[in-house]
Amino acid sequence: MHTSYLLSLKKFIEYWVIIALTVFLLGYFFFPTSSKQNTVFYISTCIPVALLLPYYYNKLRPSNWLTISTFVLIFYLYLNNLWSIHYDYAQSLKYLRYLVTLFCFFAAVFLAVYKKQNYCNLLFNSFLVVGFFYFCYGLFNHFHTLENPFMVRYGDMIQDAMFAGLLFFTAIWLINESKSWQLKILYYISLIPFVIVLFLAKSRGPQAALFLTLPLFFYFQNIQLKKILSILFCLSIIVLSVFLISPDLIHSLFSRGISAPYRFSIWTIVFQESLDFFWFGQGISKTTSVVTPLGTFDHSHNIVLSVFRMGGIVGVLLFFCNLILIAFSGLKTQSSTYKLWIIWLVFGLFCMLTNGQYPFARPKTSWLAYWVPIAFLCASYSKSISLKNKQD
């Protein structure tokens, strides 16, 4: 009787964690600030995950090099604070909380992927539904409240453009994967607000990231060159038509041009600073300001340079080692959702090459572009290996 009660309680907590994880991930569209998002995650997910540790501690062994490399990278990113040039004991405890939070998140993702067979597919569809209404509401406010909405950048420019790009790839992926024409129509409709936001946000980083990620999308979908050229031709006709009908609209949408001189100044200063702490970096701290001739900026605006600055060349090597193993795992698996997570990660990385910060942080929007896809890739790959071993 006692054992049966414990098993029922364990099962209830597992379902709770899966639901709480889903609410947390979709919550980026619900909550206006990350502080509310973090509070929900700490209470609803981290604490229940800790309660499950007595049952799962014997099974908490990474079964593949992808997961091992990810955990080594996370632990190294945390260790940086111990040799920080601005070391502070209280700050070190804060980073320990970040480490525990990140591991709890990975544990929740592993639980969801292992327990729910179609969890990733359900999550992608949930992202589309919630994201569609989120952006429709935002666009309504944008056009309803502004006199000249095309001249004003939409919402939280970089963040919303990144969200829209992730959802754009999700929608077109599901269009190609879907067998039902009714679903295809719904996915096509869902694309509309994502494309509008990508233009209205006028954020050049996510826009460039979208075009740089498209070749990988075409490769994963085995789209023939003839079809790619026809798509590009249709897009060219649409852009040309809009330009002929309303040249002012084109000017409004692309009024920011393509130059970004302050970023090159930041990157130059950061690279020069990093050379002084070449091997292990200057260590992570709250003092991350970059002083340039154009002004002072609060971060490096490039995820690789941020890792180099804080973690040195050792951190950069661990960072790229993890990405290489993700690439190899992508070649081994035939899972459609696995490849879509890789698309998310690649698009997110391209975004963070122009605006990325040091990846070791509390839960925030940048997690959707980096830690979220990596966690699901590790969990999905581990599960596929386990199933293969059972079959053998």
DSSP classification of residue 154: P
User: How far is the C-alpha of 131 from the C-alpha of 193, rounded, in Å?
Assistant: 9
pTM of the model: 0.90
pLDDT of 38:
81
Residue entry with tokens 């391209």: 350
Tell which residue, 19, 369, 302, 374, has the closest CA to residue 167: 369
In percent, the amount of the chain with pLDDT more than 90 equals 24
User: How many residues are recorded in the chain?
Assistant: 392
Q: Where are the domains of the chain?
A: 2-153+262-391
More confident residue, 159 or 371: 371
DSSP classification of residue 244: H
15-59 confidence digits (pLDDT tens):
999 999 999 998 888 776 677 778 888 888 888 888 888 777 666
pLDDT of 248:
52
- What's the mean pLDDT when you consider all of the chain? 81
pLDDT of 230:
60
245-283 confidence digits (pLDDT tens):
445 555 555 555 545 557 777 778 888 888 888 888 888
Phi, psi of 39 (to 5 degrees): -60, -45
Tell which residue, 241, 290, 236, has the closest CA to residue 266: 290
Residue entry with tokens 């509310």: 36
282-320 confidence digits (pLDDT tens):
888 776 777 766 666 666 778 998 899 888 999 999 999
Report yes or no: 77 and 360 within 8 Å, Cβ to Cβ. yes
pLDDT of 322:
95
What value does the CA radius of gyration of the chain take, rounded to a whole number of Å?
Answer: 22
How would you write 63-109 as a 3-class SS string?
A: CCHHHHHHHHHHHHHHHHHHHCCCCCHHHHHHHHHHHHHHHHHHHHH
Go through 142-163 and write b for each residue having 16 or more CB atoms within 10 A of its CB, e for each that does not: beeeeeebbeebbbebbbbbbb
The SS3 of residue 206 is: helix
Tell whether the model's pLDDT for residue 326 goes beyond 70. Answer: yes
Phi, psi of 297 (to 5 degrees): -120, 150
- Helices 119-145 and 336-355 cross at an angle (nearest 10°) of 40
User: How far is the C-alpha of 387 from the C-alpha of 390, rounded, in Å?
Assistant: 5
How would you write 309-359 as a 3-class SS string?
A: HHHHHHHHHHHHHHHHHHHHHHHHCCCHHHHHHHHHHHHHHHHHHHHCCCC
Of 68-82, 322-336, 364-378, minimum mean pLDDT range = 322-336
172-230 confidence digits (pLDDT tens):
888 888 888 788 888 888 888 888 888 887 777 888 888 889 888 888 887 765 565 66
User: How far is the C-alpha of 181 from the C-alpha of 46, rounded, in Å?
Assistant: 41
334-364 confidence digits (pLDDT tens):
788 999 999 999 999 999 988 878 898 888 8
- Helices 371-391 and 336-355 cross at an angle (nearest 10°) of 150
Tell which residue, 276, 351, 372, has the closest CA to residue 22: 372
Helix, strand, coil percentages in the chain from 3-state DSSP, rounded to 5? 80, 0, 20
Residues 6+ apart with CB under 8 A from 96: 78
pLDDT of 237:
58
Report yes or no: 113 and 120 within 8 Å, Cβ to Cβ. yes
Of 132-136, 168-172, 225-229, minimum mean pLDDT range = 225-229
User: How far is the C-alpha of 18 from the C-alpha of 114, rounded, in Å?
Assistant: 11
Report yes or no: 184 and 178 within 8 Å, Cβ to Cβ. yes
The SS3 of residue 279 is: coil
pLDDT of 378:
93
Region 125-137: what's the mean pLDDT?
91
Distance of CA 6 to the CA centre of its chain: 36
Phi, psi of 292 (to 5 degrees): -125, 165
Region 6-11: what's the mean pLDDT?
79
Tell which residue, 310, 273, 283, has the closest CA to residue 86: 283
